[in-house]
Structure 1
Amino acid sequence: MPNITQLAGMLPRDPQFREWLSTATEVEQLTADEAAAIIRTVCKIDSRRALAIDDAAAKRFHNLLRRPFVEWRSKQH
């Protein structure tokens, strides 16, 4: 299981995550770089490394991005 920093680095490259994020942000065809920037903005961090040391940012990542994405993905199958 990847740690939170690794997960935040992997998700922007996941086409399903970008599809979900595109729907959530109403932006078509997000690139991996754009998805990574959205993660940083939502989590209020400058670098994904901050997720490992900033508990509030980690909670935002899980509650605002990871959990909603996992729920959305489970409904797609």
Structure 2
Amino acid sequence: MKISVLVFGHIAEIVNTEKLILQNVKDTDELNEQLKKEYPLLQKLAYSIAVNKKIIQSNTILTNEDVVAILPPFSGG
């Protein structure tokens, strides 16, 4: 299974792209672990994971149809 991951802000600068394709990732915990393994600088950063435009708070099963986004912290004012 291939998962498309959209990446934004300074996180996109770290991974050097705005879109990643990850193979054989079954859930968001596994996706998070794989990203941190491939891009160690992510271990020190806070970010949110969204699946199908909804920010998730716990592990979520992924399918080929899902759109995953890695979002840097938001600031407002």
Q: Structure 2 length as normaliser, TM-score?
A: 0.31
Q: Say which structure is richer in helix.
A: 1
Larger RCO (CA within 8 A; separation ≥ 6) = 2
Output the TM-score relative to the length of structure 1. Answer: 0.31
